[in-house]
Amino acid sequence: MIYSDKVMDHFSNPRNVGTLPDADGVGQVGNPVCGDMMTFYVKVKDDKLSDVKFQTFGCGAAIAVSSMVSEMAMGKTLDEAMTITNEKVAEELGGLPKNKMHCSNLGADALHLAIENYKLKAKGGNAPAVSTDAGSDHEHEGEEGDESCACPYCETPVQNPKTACFCKSCDLDLVECPQCGKYTNKAENACTQCGAALEK
C-alpha cells in the first residue's frame, strides 16, 4: 500500500493531537468495519475555531486524515469549517488508496459533528456528538487475499496467520476471534469485528 509523502508526514508527526477538557463541541465517528475511531474537540471564539484537537484510534491513514483536518479547520469560521469535505482532505493529503477513502477518511465527518454539537449546546439543546456507523454502508475493498486473514485496522493481509499473527503495518499483535474467526487486536478485550469478548 503506497501513501503520499504528505500522508506519511502527518502520520509520523500528527498535528493537534490531544483533548480539550473544556471543549465547546465534541464529535466522534467510528467505523465498525475497519475499527477506526476519531474524536474531535473544538473551541469557538467569535464564530471561529480558536482551537481544534483530536484523538484517533486506527491505521496510519486515519491518523493522517485527522491531523490534516485539524490543520485545515484551525482559525476557520464555523461556516468555512463546514465546507471541509472528506474529498478535500484526501486531495490535500495528495490522495489516499481507494480502500481507505471510505474507511479511514472520516475526519471531516467528526469535525462537522463537533461543530453541530457546539451549535446545539449553544441553543440549550441536547446534541448528538457520536456517530458509530459512519461509512459502514460503503464497500471496503481490501488487499488481495482472504479477508478473514486481514488486519482489521489497515486491511493488510496477515502473513502466515496461523503461525505469525502480527501486522507489520500497524505494529500490532493480532488474535483470531473464537466467535467470528476474524483477526483483531490482541490487546483489546472485545473483537473489533463482531464485539465478542476475547479470552485472556
- Residue numbers annotated as active site: 34, 103
Bridge partner list, 150: 157
144-153 — which CB contacts under 8 Å span 24+ positions?
148/181, 148/182, 148/183, 149/183, 150/183, 151/183, 152/34, 152/35, 152/182, 152/183, 152/184, 152/185, 152/192, 152/193, 153/34, 153/35, 153/36, 153/58, 153/59, 153/185, 153/192
Matching residue, cell 501513501: 3
| CB-CB contact of 70 with 63 (8 Å) | no
Structure-block grid coordinates of residue 118? 457546539
| CB-CB contact of 134 with 109 (8 Å) | yes
